[in-house]
Amino acid sequence: MLSVIIPSYKDPLLHKTVESILQNFEGDFEIIIVLDGYWTETWADPRIRVLHLGKNRGMRDAINAGVLISKGEYIMRTDEHCMFAKGFDRIITNDIKNNEIVTAKRYFLNPIDWVVMDEEPIEYEKLVIQGGMKFAGTRWRSRDEERKAIAIDETMAMQGSCWVMPKKWWDKVIGELQTEGYGPLYQDSHEMVFKTWKAGGKLMLNKNTWFAHKHRSFSRTHNYGIKEATPGWKYSLDKWKDYYKEIKEKWKI
């Protein structure tokens, strides 16, 4: 079974995201909606579980709380403003290995019309230090071209808005998303990927399926300003920058 964890904070697109999962997933799954300090209407579908956090604790703690009560062999995290391809769950879990985090081809979603935008999707991402301030993934066009014939391949970074991994890998390697130092929201994907590499695992891109994430031109509900985010970015950079130098040599960037 796949446990789909959705950390949610007052996003009006939550219900559409849930409907996209219900309409397009084909295997055995549960949806765990973690309401991060607010209430919304509930669902009658027995596949949906709602966990309410008594106060707003942030995305990282919301994901941790959802994983803690999950029952699936695999866990998936998705943002609350995403659309999914038919059979997304089956395609990902059919090929995932025990030491992998897997993401998919990412399109851009127009949340008003609820349609995939006519823009080139993101496949491979390169991990960089952006502006000397933080780790970030950036589109890796040269790898897109060089490895376009490979359907499932290793990649270096992901947005973090949608991923799948075996629950045992989370328990053994990730443990939980750390809030001390990082803060409540950001750098979660980089923390997981660094931990995974250190444990001998891989971050994989499965191009056989896709999801669409709300385009950045539309407003967000679960974020805060640069001033508040900077200490967490710095903490992540200080913690992992020496290891990142080793990784850059492996990837030859």
Q: What is the tens place of the pLDDT at every residue in 101-160?
A: 999 999 999 999 999 999 999 999 999 999 999 999 999 999 999 999 999 999 999 999
CATH number of 2-251: 3.90.550.10
Q: What is the tens place of the pLDDT at every residue in 26-81?
A: 999 999 999 999 998 888 999 999 999 999 999 999 999 999 999 999 999 999 99
Per-residue model confidence (pLDDT) at position 216 = 72
Q: What is the tens place of the pLDDT at every residue in 168-197?
A: 999 999 999 999 999 999 999 999 999 999
Give 100's contacts (C-beta < 8 A, 6+ positions apart).
165, 166, 169, 196, 201, 202, 203, 204
Residue extents of the structural domains in the chain: 2-251
- The pTM of the full predicted model, rounded to 2 decimals, is 0.95
